[in-house]
Amino acid sequence: MSSEVIVALGQKTLETAVLLAGPLLLVMAVISVVITVVQTLMSLQDATISGVPRLLATALAGIVLMPWMLRKLGIFTTQLFSDFRIWTQ
């Protein structure tokens, strides 16, 4: 297996990982900003107020996005295992 194939495989794997993690990280970031603004406006400094909604929103987004994520991961895996001639060169 040549180094070009290894680099291409690593690049495709990282692209897929970022594509799958991106929406969950985006939801977490948006919820964090909203909670921080609300806490600042109301002068609340409780860690539970910021942690629990962020966890619940991320879990809900994970549940909602799970079919899409599994479909993307299945496509990646199918493409990876569809042609073994690439790995034997």
Note the pTM of the prediction, 2 decimals.
0.77
Q: What is the pLDDT of residue 73?
A: 95
Residues counted in the chain: 89
Domain boundaries, the chain: 3-86
Residue type, 70: L
Q: How far is CA 80 from CA 11, 41, 44, in A?
A: 13, 50, 49
Q: How many other C-beta atoms are found inside a 10 Å radius of the C-beta of residue 27?
A: 19
Q: Contact 73/12 with Cβ under 8 angstroms?
A: no
pLDDT tens digits for 23-53? 999 999 999 999 989 888 988 877 777 788 8
